[in-house]
C-alpha cells in the first residue's frame, strides 16, 4: 500500500478565527433545542415520540403497535382448536433451552380420556423468566407447535417465585392457536 498523504483542508481566515464556526455551531444546537421545545423535532412521527424531542414517554405511550412480526417476547404454550393442550411433554425444549429455563414434569394421559391416543401431557411446565433469554430455540425445536414466543415484553415481579411462569400462566399468555403454522415459511 502506498502511503497516502491526507491533505489538510485549507481554512479561510474567518474559519481560523474560530468565532464564526462557534456561532455556526451554536445556531445548529439552539435550532435543535427550539424545535425540540416546540414539539417539532426531526423524525418524531416515525418514532411516535411524546411532546419533547424524539423520545417516547414509555409507560404512558407504548411501542406495541409497532412491534414487528418476528418480535420475540415471552414464550407461551398454546392449545389447539379443540382446546387440547398441544404439548406432548417430549421435553425437547427443556433439553435445547440454552439457559436451562424450562422445567417439565411429564404425565400420562389416562386411557379413558378423550385424548388417550396422545399418551402424554405435561403435569407441570415451568419457565423461569429470570433465566429466559428469549432466543426462540424452544419454538423452533417443538415438533407439536405447542410453544410460541408472544409479544409480551414487560415481564415483572416482586420475587423470584413470581417470575416463574407455571402452566396456567403460560396457557393464559399463549391462548388458542388454530391450524398449523409453517415456521420456516421463507426457507421453503
Partner 1 sequence: MLTILIITLIKIIGFTFLMILPLVAYSVYAERRVSAAMQDRVGPNRVGIPFTKIRLAGLGQPIVDGLKFLLKEDFTPNHVNKFYYWLAPAFVLIPALLTCAVIPFGSELNLPFLDDPVKLVIADLNVGPLFIFAIASLSVYGIVLAGWSSNSKYSFLGGVRSSAQMISYEICLGLSLVPVLLIFGEINLTDIVKQQSENGWLLLPVVWNETGFHISAESALLWIPAMIAFFIFTVSIFAETNRTPFDLPECETELVAGYHTEYSSMKFALFFLGEYAAMIIGSGLIVTLFLGGWSLPFGLDQNFIGDDGLVPWWLGLAHIGVFFAKVIAFIIFFIAVRWTVPRFRYDQLMKLGWVVFFEAALVNIFVAAGIIMIFK
Q: Which of 57, 107 has the CB closer to partner 1? A: 57
53 near partner 1 (CB under 8 A): yes
Does residue 62 bind partner 1 (CB under 8 A)?
no
Q: Name the minimum Å distance from CB 19 to partner 1.
A: 8
Are 150 and 139 spatial neighbours (Cβ–Cβ below 8 Å)?
Answer: no
Q: How far is the CB of 22 from partner 1 (least distance, A)?
A: 6
Distance, in Å, from the CA atom of 93 to the CA atom of 136, rounded to the nearest integer, reads 10
Pick the binder of partner 1 from 11, 14, 30, 178 (CB under 8 A).
30
Residues 6+ apart with CB under 8 A from 144: 86, 87, 88, 90
Per rule CB under 8 A, is residue 5 in the interface with partner 1?
no
Q: Which of residues 9-28 bind partner 1 (CB under 8 A)?
A: 22, 25-26, 28
**Of the candidates 87, 169, 72, which has an alpha carbon nearest to the alpha carbon of residue 128?**
169
- Binding of residue 33 to partner 1 (CB under 8 A): yes
CA distance 142 to 122: 14
What is the closest distance, in whole angstroms, from the C-beta atom of residue 149 to partner 1 in the complex?
Answer: 31
Phi, psi of 71 (to 5 degrees): -60, 135
Using CB under 8 A, count the residues that bind partner 1: 18
Q: Does 54 bind partner 1 (CB under 8 A)?
A: yes
Alpha-helical segments (H) within 4-160: 13-17, 19-37, 92-96, 137-141
Contacting positions for partner 1 (CB under 8 A): 22, 25-26, 28-30, 32-33, 36-37, 41-42, 50, 52-55, 57
Amino acid at each position: 500500500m502506498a502511503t497516502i498523504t491526507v491533505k489538510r483542508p485549507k481554512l479561510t481566515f474567518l474559519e481560523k478565527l474560530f468565532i464564526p464556526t462557534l456561532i455556526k455551531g451554536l445556531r445548529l444546537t439552539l435550532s435543535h433545542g427550539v424545535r425540540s421545545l416546540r414539539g417539532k423535532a426531526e423524525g418524531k412521527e416515525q418514532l411516535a415520540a411524546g411532546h419533547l424531542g424524539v423520545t417516547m414517554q414509555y409507560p404512558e405511550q407504548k411501542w406495541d403497535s409497532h412491534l414487528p412480526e418476528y418480535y420475540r417476547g415471552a414464550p407461551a404454550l398454546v392449545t389447539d382448536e379443540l382446546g387440547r393442550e398441544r404439548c406432548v411433554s417430549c421435553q425437547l425444549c427443556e433439553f435445547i433451552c440454552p439457559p436451562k429455563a424450562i422445567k417439565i414434569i411429564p404425565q400420562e394421559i389416562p386411557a379413558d380420556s378423550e385424548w388417550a391416543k396422545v399418551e402424554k401431557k405435561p403435569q407441570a411446565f415451568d419457565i423461569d423468566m429470570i433465566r429466559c433469554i428469549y432466543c426462540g430455540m424452544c419454538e423452533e425445536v417443538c415438533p407439536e407447535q405447542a410453544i410460541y414466543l408472544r409479544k409480551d415484553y414487560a415481564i415483572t415481579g416482586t420475587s423470584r417465585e413470581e417470575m416463574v411462569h407455571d402452566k396456567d400462566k403460560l396457557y393464559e399468555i399463549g391462548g388458542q392457536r388454530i391450524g398449523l403454522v409453517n415456521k420456516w415459511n421463507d426457507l421453503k
